[in-house]
Each structure stands twice: as C-alpha cells, then as structure tokens.
Structure 1
Amino acid sequence: MQEHFLRHLRKAMDTPSFPCALSSLPLRRVISLFVPGPAGPMPARLFLPHGRVRGAVLYLHGGGFVHCGLNSHHGICCRLARVSGAAVLLPDYRLAPEHPFPAAVEDARAALAWLAALSARYWDGGVGVAGDSAGGNLAAVLAQDGVAGRGPMPALQLLYYPTLYGRQEFPSHQTYARGYFLSRRSMAWYGAQYIQDEQHWDDPRFVPGMNDLTGLPPAVIVTAQCDPLRDEGAFYAQALRHAGVRVLYRCYPGALHAFLNFYAFMPHGKAALRLGGRALRKAFHAQA
C-alpha cells in the first residue's frame, strides 16, 4: 500500500507547472548529467544562462524529503539561472522513506563539493546554496558546514519557506494547521518518513535552527503568510541577525506553502525568484 501510494504521489508531484522545454528557452543550455554521490552517481541538471557566467548555485528541491525532483523544479532553476547570471545545479538526491536521514544531507554535500570544484575551474564568484522547504533545510545545513570547515563556504544562502527546527512548536503551526495546502498532519507524516531513528530528531544536520549561527554567510529568507512553516523562517532570520549575519527577510502576503512551484501563474512566485536571483547576482559579483 505504501509503495503504491508513494509511486503515485511522486509521479503527481514531479509534474512542472510550466512545460520544461518552454522554461529552458531563455537559457543558453540545460545539461542532463550525473554527479558523484555517496551511493553512486546522482542524476542532475545544470542550467547555464546566456552571457558570462558568474558563480554557481546548488539548488535543493523541496517535497518533504519524500517527493519532487528534476521536473517539478526545472522552471524554478531556469528562472534563477537567468536572473542571477549564475550556473544552477539541481541534483536528484535520494528520497525517504527508502533512504532516510541522513541520505539527503550526504547527497547534498557531495553535490556541493562537485559544483564548487567545477565552479573554481570555469567561473568566478564562488558558490551559493538555495532550496525550498525541505531543500531549504538542506541548504541551511550546507551553509553551516561551510563555517565548520566541512564543505565550501557559500557566498549566500537562499532559503524559501524552510523547515529548520524539527519538532519545536511555533504559533503558525497551529494557525495554519489545516486548509492551507501544507497541513500540520502532513508535516508530521513527512517527518516520520525522513527521521526514522528517534535520536536524529535533534541531530544538528536536521535542526539547523538550533545550532550556533555565528559566522554564517549572508541569507535571503522567503516565507509565505499562510504557511505552517512561516514562523520558522521568520524566527531563523531574527536569530541570524542576532548572531551578526546579514539577512534579507521577505514574507509574501496571502501566499501558501510551495507557492514557488506555481510561479507560472502566481505573481508572488515570480517576484520571489527575482528577489533571490538578484541577491545571488550581487553576492557573486562581490566575490569575483
């Protein structure tokens, strides 16, 4: 039953809101490739904009660590590459429950290491990390890895409605518990698929909001008003500022969780991608 449900869920949720071929038209090239991972080669797509490429972004897709992939986030990465002027890598990291925590973290680390080596060879500006929802969690972890010397130091962390605090409760969890696309019940289900060992609920690779935030790279944090995860992003932005980190925080009024995936017909989605892309462009130009 679970296998049948996951197969249909993943098929439905990896459908783009806008045709991939049309999304790719404003770019110079989209390359399908494999990048090295701890469990073997990972499928990925590399998005290259026109003009001089400056910087490279690892984009980690959302989907509760359970679904979504290369198709669902194709258009998002196309827009980010075009606005930022940077190369964008979208890896198809392993999904739970077949591959529970820390598989996604390990894959994300391997993809960032590969991208950083490629960027150092071909492009100026360094690397950035970005992601939405579960992908925002992974991006935040990679930014903390950079400070700890466990990986490249990103020029910017771009987090769209991230999950950051594990089981810690926030008011928005209850305010938007039902009827706003992402429910409190589905959040618990996603968590149970990804975290299958009780001790991992408090692991710093899953709850980046509970770690030391000193010295982290600048952050852009975007949330949706009507989203159970809204307060997690807002609280993390405040905590980063208290730690001396430069933060741009934006909450889009009336928006729901995952609104980025529907950018094709939601103005807030386009605006949030422009905001992130311009921040990345500025960060890469400052490092070049």
Structure 2
Amino acid sequence: MEVIAQLQETSIYNVLFPTIYAFTPLLEPMRTEITGARKTFKYGETECHQLDVYPPPPAYTGTTKHPLLVFIYGGNFTTGKRTRSAPADLVYGNVGCYFAFHGFITIIPDYRLAPETPYPGGAEDLRAVLEWTASAAGNALGPAADREKIFLLGHSAGGVHVMTMLFREPTILASGRVKGAFIASAPTYYDFDVIDEPTARGVEAYYGARTAAVEGSPLTLFRAASEGMIRALPPLALLTCERDPEYMRVNLAESRRMLEERGIKVPLIVAKGHNHVSITFALGTGQGEEWAEDAVRWMRALHQEKTPWLRSAL
C-alpha cells in the first residue's frame, strides 16, 4: 500500500496502470492457486457468456455448506474481462481465490459490454448468471454448494449492474436466494456536471444518451420501486474508497441517505488508503484487505442469519 499512498491522483484513469504495476508482482506467489483453482463454464449463448468458478480449498473447515458469491467487475461499461492479459493476468483471479479461501464458492462472470450491448444488458447477464447457479450441474458448483444463499459483490460499473438488476427484477427478489449485495465504489446516479469526460463517455455508450442514463440510473429505479419491492430487497452495503474521486464519494454518501429515507438502513464502509481500483488488486497480497475482511464478516453473519456488524462502517 506504500505505492498507493504515494499516488496523489484520484482520477481512475490516472491511477489505473500505476496500481496494476504496484500489485501484480505481489500476486505472483499466488499464481498456482489462482490458475489451478478456477473452472470455466458457459452460462449463455455468446462467447461473452462464460464464467469462472473458484471453490474453497479442500482443507477449508469453516462450514459444511458453502454460500455462493458472484463478483461483477467494473470497466466503465465498455471494458473488462474476468481473465486479463499480462501483466494483470492474475487480477480478478485473486478476488476469486481470496473469497474461496474464506469459504465462498466464488463465481466471476464475463458479461456483454457497451456499445455493442446497451442498457440493461449487463444487468440481464447478471440475472442469467443467477439462473445458471440454480440449474448448474453438481460438478460445476460441487455438492457442498448452498445454492439458496447467494451474495453479490459489484465493483464500479459491476455494482451498477447489481443494483439495476435488483431494482428492475422482482422475480429475482421473489426467489429469496440473494441474501445480500455489497456495492463497492459504484455510482447510483450520474451528475454530468461533475463526472469526468472519460466516465461520461462510458455512461453514454451504455445508456445511449445522458437523459436515458438519468432515467435508468439505480437511484431513479429505486425511487420508482413499489413498497413491496423495497421490502423484498436483500440487505445492502455500500463501500467507498478513501481515494475515490470526490464526486463518487459524495454520490455514495447521498445515496445512502436517500436509501434510508425509504427505510433501508445501509452501512457505508470506507476502504482506508485505497484508490478506486486498488481494492480488487490488493486481495491476496496481505496488504489493504481490511475492507474484504469486513465484507466476509458481513456475508457470514447473513449466511448464518445473524445481525451483521462492520467495523469500518459509518
């Protein structure tokens, strides 16, 4: 985290490559665990509809049944892949291994990207992933998979896809299989007066127009949701990074207040010392993992039907 602390920039595009080069050497000792653990499956018709499954190691003894965790990466709606090219070829695999080591069968899907697949394509692909978990053969998830207890972890644009699916898909909520959604550094609305131009281009590529982005934003969908849908939502948690762009940290703080106006109490976790992208790259390095420890604690409590507690929540 020393290199990250030296980066004064908060712009996502300015910190991306310095963060990659800071953490990828630290992930190298995990190469065997990452590349040897994952199994790849198709969950849809196109080449984009593939996912990797990371099972808990055989030595894990924390539980007899393993909940599922679906991690949805970001990329400003237009980029992203579950397995990246070198030097970042261990990124996201480290996320899968980290949570698998903590007892979660971790699923990392690819999904269709804009502009070829516009809104709400990402959310629809996430719904298809959840449908796949219900019907996947036993050798995909294993006999210890607790298919009735699924958690979602969405980072950046991936968090937007999680919220969009939850706020648009009453059938997903009706199943009761999603037990919690952890939203990491994901905007719930778009203020084009303050977001930077590269981010604005990605948002427009996905939604088609700025007016459509406002109308389709998670916060607009949430405000339009019925009381029945609100009551059916799983527990939510929001995370912001200490070095996120200022507009994003303001966005999440305001969104938390708006959620609470409709009776949903949402913890807001601060990832100390992290920029927007370092939270995922750090997992497995032994540095900057406190936010993930909180996420594990929160999900385990919900899995065991206990009241979750987060040490770094505001």
SS at match of 1:155: strand
Give, in angstroms, the shift of residue 233 of structure 1. 1.9
Contact 2:92-2:281 at 8 Å conserved across structures: no
Unaligned runs of 5+ in 1: 1-11, 178-183
Residues 202 and 117 of structure 1, relative CA distance in 2, 3 Å threshold: farther
Aligned residue in 2 for 1:271: 290
Counterpart selection for 2:256 from 220, 237, 244: 237
The answer as to whether partners of 2:70 and 2:151 remain within 8 angstroms in 1 is yes
Q: 1:223 to 1:41 in 2, by over 3 A?
A: closer
In 1, distance between residues paired with 2:273 and 2:280? 15
Q: Could you tell me how far apart the structure 2 residues matched to 1:26 and 1:41 are?
A: 21
Post-superposition offset of 1:266: 8.3
1:35 aligned onto 2:59: no
CA RMSD of aligned residues (A): 3.4
Structure 2 match to 1:49 = 56
Return the offset for 1:28: 8.9
**Where do 5+ consecutive residues of structure 2 fail to align?**
1-17, 84-90, 307-314
Query: Which whole-Å CA distance do the structure 2 matches of 1:107 and 1:141 have between them?
Result: 11
Q: Which residue of 2 aligns with 1:218?
A: 235
1:129 aligns with 2:152: yes
Corresponding residue number in structure 1 for 2:309: none
SS at match of 2:301: helix
Q: TM-score, normalised by structure 1?
A: 0.76
2: CA distance, partners of 1:77 / 1:35: 18
Are residues 1:281 and 2:300 paired? Answer: yes
Query: Residue 123 of structure 2 aligns with which residue?
Result: 105
Shift of residue 70 of structure 1?
1.1
Equivalent residue letter for 1:193: A
Deviation string 1:183-207 (CA, Å, 9 cap, x unpaired) is x122112112222255532344xx1
Give the Å deviation of 1:254.
Answer: 4.3
Residues 97-151 of structure 1 deviation map (CA, whole Å, 9 limit, x = unaligned)? 22222221221111122124447985335111111000011111233345x2245
The alpha-carbon deviation at position 156 of structure 1 amounts to 0.4
User: Distance in 1 between the 2:142 and 2:38 partners?
Assistant: 20
| 1:92 paired residue among 88, 96, 110 | 110
Distance in 2 between the 1:28 and 1:34 partners? Answer: 18
Partner residue of 1:142?
165
In 2, Cα distance between equivalents of 1:21 and 1:114: 32
Question: What SS does structure 1 have at the residue aligned with 2:164?
Answer: helix
CA distance, structure 1, for counterparts of residue 116 and residue 92 of structure 2: 21
Change in CA separation of 1:28 and 1:242 when aligned onto 2, cut-off 3 Å: farther
Say which SS state the counterpart of residue 247 (structure 1) adopts. Answer: coil
Corresponding residue SS for 1:68: coil
CA contact (8 A) 1:28 1:49 kept: no
Deviation string 1:140-190 (CA, Å, 9 cap, x unpaired) is 1233345x2245442001111012113466xxx4xxx6xxxxxx1221121
State the partner residue of 2:4. Answer: none
Q: For the structure 1 residues 198 and 160, does the alpha-carbon distance in structure 2 shift closer, same or farther, using more than 3 Å as the test? A: closer
Scaled by the length of structure 2, the TM-score of the pair is: 0.70
- Answer whether contact 1:58 1:115 (CA < 8 A) is retained: no
Change (3 A) 1:62 1:126: same
253 and 41 in structure 1: CA distance in 2 versus 1, 3 angstrom threshold = closer
Report percent identity of matched pairs.
Answer: 19
- 2:219 maps to what in 1? 209
* Higher CA-based Rg: 2
Residue 238 of structure 2 contacts residue 266 of structure 2 at CA under 8 Å; is this kept in 1? Answer: yes
Q: Distance in 2 between matches of 1:121 and 1:200?
A: 43
When the two structures are aligned, how many residues end up with a matched partner?
260
Equivalent of 1:251, from 254, 260, 270? Answer: 270
1:159 aligns with 2:167: no
The runs of 4+ residues in structure 1 deviating greater than 6 Å are 12-16
Provide the C-alpha distance between the structure 2 equivalents of 1:108 and 1:69, rounded to a whole number of angstroms: 14
Distance 2:275 2:68 in 1: 28
